[in-house]
Homo-oligomer: A and B are copies of this chain.
């Protein structure tokens, strides 16, 4: 359930895990004004820590806007008999309840999958509302649209793709999203998820997820070990999973140059 320990530290030596994922994300969606950049940077002063398993939102309860600085979370809902569906994974740079308007009521539960850090982001909402035509508002709007597009991609996976296609498609999406906030190391990225968590996201059983992962390994499409995954043949996976057609591809595309700019 936790981020890989030694391996991670070794591979990202010299840079902190994710310098400013929220800034990278929002600035990647629309170049922010200087004031907006300061505002986003200021969020990290409000940093709060959560243990794995912490509940960030409960369905039906009020929901405070929040951005994720580090770690992974998941939006979920459960059936009375224990079946669980994960609607979305939240990675650094993602947000929660940012577009709820008035009456911010959570439509799903949200739980931390790893140890993580977040910050309340009401300031972002207010700043965007104060300047509806500004870059920040545009960026937040695009973030919302991206979320919607990803939800549609998830539905397409669940409804119309096989286990192999679904799994490849999800990995491609996660890779793109993590690359966009500077958290991918080329074709490699952290995947701190148990197979049970993957199963709940993909609408499969644990056992079948395991066999699907084995097949992706046998086909030399991925290498998966101790919380990290490497896409060995991205192009083949794109074709296998119809990634572009299934949506989210263009919108979640990595913009590595922007992340680099921010560090300069």
Are B107 and A145 in contact (CB-based, < 8 A)?
A: yes
A83 cross-chain contacts in B, Cβ below 8 A: 160-161
Taken together, the copies of this chain in the complex come to: 2
Complex Cα–Cα for A141 and B105 (A): 12
Within 8 A of B (CB), among A126-173: 129, 132, 137-138, 141-142, 144-145, 148-149, 151-152, 154-156, 158-161
Q: Which residues of B contact A152 (CB under 8 A)?
A: 77, 87, 107-108
A7-15, A49-57, A95-103, A180-188: which lies at the interface: A95-103
Query: By the criterion CB–CB under 8 Å, are B107 and A247 in contact?
Result: yes
- Residues in A68-86 with C-beta less than 8 Å from chain B: 77-81, 83-85
Instruction: State in angstroms the CA–CA spacing of A137 and B59 once bound together.
Output: 23
Interface of A is mostly: mixed
Bound together, the chains give a CA A78 to CA B80 distance in angstroms of 32
Q: A223 at the A/B interface (Cβ < 8 Å)?
A: no
Select which of B101, B102, B203, B246 is within 8 A of A158 by beta carbon: B203
Contact A107 B149 (CB under 8 A): yes
Residue A245 CB within 8 A of the other chain: yes
Chain B residue at smallest Cβ distance from A60: B250
Q: In the complex the two chains form, is A160's CB within 8 Å of B85's CB?
A: yes
> CB distance B84 to A160 under 8 Å?
yes
Assembly CA distance A158 to B86 (angstroms): 12
**CB-CB under 8 A for A79 and B246, given A155-B158, A160-B85:** yes
**Which residues, 100 to 128 on A, are CB-close (under 8 Å) to B?**
100-103, 105, 107-108
Q: Is B203 within 8 A of A142, CB to CB?
A: no
Residues in B neighbouring A85, C-beta threshold 8 A:
155-156, 159-160
Q: Tell me, in angstroms, the Cα distance from A80 to B122 when the chains sit together.
A: 42
Known: A59-B247, A107-B247. 9 other contacts (CB 8 A): A77-B245, A84-B160, A85-B156, A85-B160, A103-B138, A103-B141, A108-B247, A129-B132, A155-B158
